[in-house]
A and B are shown apart, each in its own frame.
Chain A
Amino acid sequence: MSFIPVILWSDALVFLLLAAGMLVVSYVRQHEYLRLPWRRVAKNSVAMVSLLVLSLFLLVGLLDTLHYRVELKDKNAGKTVYSPEVLSVFDKLVEPLRLHTEKTYSAPLATNLYSKESVTDVSGNIVREYSRLQYAGGQKEGSRDVLRRALFGGIAGFIAAGLLIGIRRAFLHRSPFPVRAGWVQSPVIFAALSIAGLIGMTVNLAGAYHVLGTDKVGQDVLYLSLKSIRTGLIIGTVTTLVTLPLALFLGVAAGYFRGWVDDIIQYIYTVLSSIPSVLLIAAAVLMMQVTIDTHPNWFETAASRADLRLVFLCLILGMTSWTGLCRLLRGETLKLREMEYIQAAQSFGVSSLRILSRHIIPNVMHIILIALVMDFSGLVLAEAVLSYVGVGVDPSMISFGTMINGARLEMAREPMVWWALAAAFGFMLVLVLAANLFADAVRDAFDPRLNRTEGDL
């Protein structure tokens, strides 16, 4: 079966970000003074556990970013035709989860449907009963089977992770690089082992059950939650592609050149920040909606339409959120330009462009880094709220917001359908909490002001 790779707009932006991130990492690795604050982060075990969780999320998101379309069997006049459905490598990996859809709701780990339906039994009578799920349970079932599977899966994951860590350690001792002491600390190993156990448990259970139940149209909630990760990550990261250049160039230019440049840039960001951001986002998204609706021929597949909407949402979020960082950078640049070394450079006749790139921008980098990692969690949370208000991602796109929106009214049912909401909120909590903890560690390591107050105490 052949396929063609598909690169959606958001995929391209993710790859761009990834490349930029790798460049930054390799640059930092080569410069000792840049590695120093990161070493402080690496010593913080809470930060490292958060980083571990974040990288697992990132892995799922990245696998979900490699898209392709499968070739269809029936050929149209000799030409190969590709399915309109855009799949990702992640979809392929968890294919059973994606394809095993039931009729409607079912509780986590249940073997029967949530609601009764009319079934014709062996003798021809129509009875109403909780019919069996198509893809749950096997020959053995019940709580003993669930326990057995959870136990085996957990132990398997635990052992696998233990082996990996052992191999890594052995490898590290023999590697020509010096062993980075403090990188692998016991809380981190403990966290890694328990996460591996949890994953093993989930994987083993997911083979035979719907671990987190199914939603209204019978889709597996675990699958939906995992797919939502990519949307959340994209909102949190691609937005920085917009905020970063705008805030950096405008903020530094305003602070350095002052005068009319400063006036204009200040005017622009005062106008933007004086509009309540939800309203500005709503207005912009409404307009994008009209544009997309009036040009249906722009998009080849439904996925590409939803994707473009996601990219636009990032763009709009970026346009509304750069002003805070810009103001910070302007203030810092105003302070820096009065420093002796800048004045020395000016009197030597160094060009403004060179002063900016060599002396000012490297000295505001820590502010940018702190602002970016702090913004991430806010953006992930904002996506859910915006989708609820109706100005978020495309309703066909799987995201935490659409999951919550779809499950919100089901709380009123009796018995309650709580699992979809719980799954969305749970995954979001883990992602945002890890991001917040990591951001705190980064701030503590990079903020020069904070270090000084720590010294005082």
Chain B
Amino acid sequence: MIAYLIRRILYAIPILIGVNLLTFALFFVVNTPDDMARMQLGIKRVTPEAIEHWKEQHGYNKPLLVNRGVKGIGKITDTIFWQKSASMFVLDFGFSDDGRSISREIYTRMGPSMAIALPTFIIGLLCYVSFALLMTLFRATALDIAGVSLCVVLMSISGLFYIIGGQFLISKLWHWVPISGYGEGAFKFIVLPVVIGVVSGIGSSSRWYRSIFLEEIGKDYVRTARAKGLSELRVLFTHVLKNASIPILTGVVVVIPLLFMGSLLTESFFGIPGLGNYTIDAINAQDFSIVRAMVFLGSLLYIAGLILTDISYTVVDPRVRLT
């Protein structure tokens, strides 16, 4: 298993290099650093000196991929690509355009992101799975049909509507919790985003879990269990739920590490100072260093999620051996 993990981690390196090359191509080849400097300084009345100064300040005054002016290893290392990418592999993200350390920002913003994302994830998972189990238990009855129809309608509603509607109903009309914000006594700020996050996922997730359960319930071992005289509830909860956990884990574990990143929409609507909000601000301010850092972090966490998924298989299914 250790050897397998080491191989997987080594396999992640070329993928991360690929991600870096891709963002690099997006940011620096499509538009030259000069274009970016002009964007940042404003289109009008930009002197070449000002552009040079900006490029030097932000470390963009080097050749893109290959530095022909330097000998030896410097040919590769003394370039924008190396300078901006290599440090990311040791999680040093450099500085944003307003001069703050990105790593430090990520560190302080992780907390609020997790405070929203983790409860949403856990409560959501419990709700969706129990709703799906309920529909499976009453499959092919009016209750099931009503449930599925409800799911289809819920998943057809835009995520923006849940947020705007929820804020309006719960905060503005009923004054239960503040509309947005984050701070001391965080609980009252967390409730609304979590509830909305859970509700907005009910449609698609419950339907998906239901289809997994239905697929399991058609298998032979379920028939055997029933023939042995087990009650339908027992069949569903001990046998079907356990066997369905592999496809469920495939979809679920991979997003756990990504919870750090927070949700762009939720955080920006509720004014939560998390990583999602940070990313949106960076997109609006066109701060490429932050966007690149977040892309790198995102893909790193995604790969971590894939590895975690494999490990989780060995936990729920003793037949799975990682070699």
Contact = CB atoms under 8 A, between A and B. Distances in A.
Interface of A: 267-268, 270-276, 278-280, 282-284, 286-287, 289-291, 293-294, 377, 381, 384-385, 388-391, 400, 404, 408, 411-412, 421, 425, 428-429, 432-433, 436-437, 440, 453, 456-457
Contacts of B19: 271, 274-275
B302 A274 contact: yes
| Highest count of chain B CB atoms <10 Å: which of A284, A294, A440 | A294
Contacts of A282: 279, 283, 291
Interface string B6-44: 000000001100110011001100110001101100010
A313 B18 CA distance: 22
Interface of B: 14-15, 18-19, 22-23, 26-27, 30-31, 35-36, 38-39, 43, 140, 152-153, 155-161, 164, 167-168, 172, 214-215, 218, 258, 261, 264-265, 268, 279-280, 283-284, 286, 288, 291-292, 294-295, 298-299, 302-303
Given A275-B298, A436-B152, 18 more contacts: A267-B18, A274-B302, A275-B22, A275-B299, A276-B295, A276-B298, A279-B295, A280-B295, A286-B283, A287-B31, A293-B39, A389-B280, A412-B172, A425-B157, A425-B158, A428-B158, A429-B157, A433-B153
A-B pairs, 5 with minimum CB distance: A271-B18, A433-B156, A276-B298, A274-B299, A432-B156
A273 B22 CA distance: 12
A78 B276 CA distance: 57
Q: Looking at A283, A385, A412, A432, which has the most chain B CB atoms within 10 Å of its CB? A: A283
Given A276-B302, A389-B264, A421-B164, A291 B31 contact: yes
Nearest to A282: B283
Chain B contact residues, majority secondary structure = helix
A220 B15 CA distance: 50
Do most interface residues of chain A lie in helix, strand or loop, or is the interface mixed?
helix
A138 B225 CA distance: 73
A274 B21 CA distance: 13
B172 A411 contact: yes
Contacts of B279: 279, 282
B26 A284 contact: yes
Contacts of B39: 290, 293-294
A35 to B, nearest CB: 27
A185 to B, nearest CB: 19
A286 B292 CA distance: 12
A433 B203 CA distance: 12
A271 B22 contact: yes
A66 to B, nearest CB: 28
12 contacts: A271-B19, A273-B302, A275-B23, A276-B261, A286-B286, A287-B31, A377-B156, A390-B283, A404-B158, A411-B172, A428-B158, A436-B156
A385 B265 contact: yes
Nearest to A279: B295
A428 B158 CA distance: 8
Nearest to A455: B218
Contacts, number: 128
A290 B35 contact: yes
A388 B214 contact: no
B232 to A, nearest CB: 15
Nearest to B305: A274
Contact of A291 (B30, B43, B302): B30
Nearest to A286: B286
Nearest to A280: B295
Contacts of A433: 152-153, 156
Contacts of B153: 433
B77 to A, nearest CB: 23
A267 B140 CA distance: 43
Nearest to B165: A425
B38 A294 contact: yes
A425 B22 CA distance: 35
Contact of A453 (B156, B218, B265): B218
A425 to B, nearest CB: 5
Contacts of A457: 140, 218
A412 B179 CA distance: 11
Given A433-B153, A456-B218, A391 B18 contact: no
B295 A440 contact: no
B18 A283 contact: no
Contacts of B43: 293
Contacts of B22: 271-272, 275
B152 A437 contact: yes
Contacts of A280: 295
A217 B156 CA distance: 30
A151 to B, nearest CB: 29
Contacts of B157: 425, 429, 432
B129 to A, nearest CB: 21
B264 A278 contact: yes
A278 B14 CA distance: 22
Contacts of B294: 279
Contact of B164 (A284, A411, A456): A411
Nearest to A400: B158
A453 B140 CA distance: 13
A388 B265 contact: yes
A290 B268 CA distance: 24
Of the listed residues B14, B36, B43, B161, the one surrounded by the most CB atoms of chain A closer than 10 A to its CB is B161
Given A280-B295, A294-B31, A421-B164, A267 B15 contact: yes
